[in-house]
Amino acid sequence: MAQVGQSAQNGYAERVIRTIKEEEVYLNDYRDLADARAPIGRFIDDVYPSKCINSSLGYLTPAEFEAQWCAQQEAVTHPKKKEPKCESPRESWRQISLSQAAAADSSSWR
């Protein structure tokens, strides 16, 4: 999500949402919200990070960019270590996204 007062960041979120809609939601028929949760969650967790390249990430997938970033952080903080041990922020991001979606579900899916 964009920081408060940083409207230039909205484009990144909008592009991710557009990709999810075009590559998952519009290509499938869901009976209801419960039927849509698992496939959309799978797309967000498995397909998007590993298969969707992103121009703002230097034409890397989010997973490749994250691995590269973690390696750089480890090299700066622990220059003598050879294997990066960076923890991924992806799981906490997913939990926040699911809680926001759940809050929106009660009013938007009928």
Residues 5-33 have pLDDT tens digits of 777 878 888 988 999 999 999 999 999 99
**Cα 88 to the chain's mean position, in Å?**
12
pTM of the model: 0.58
3-class secondary-structure state, position 107: helix
Domain ranges of the chain: 7-108
3-state secondary structure at position 97: helix
The pLDDT tens digits for 59-97 are 999 999 999 999 999 888 887 766 555 655 555 455 555
SS3 1: coil
Residues facing residue 60 across a β-bridge: 54
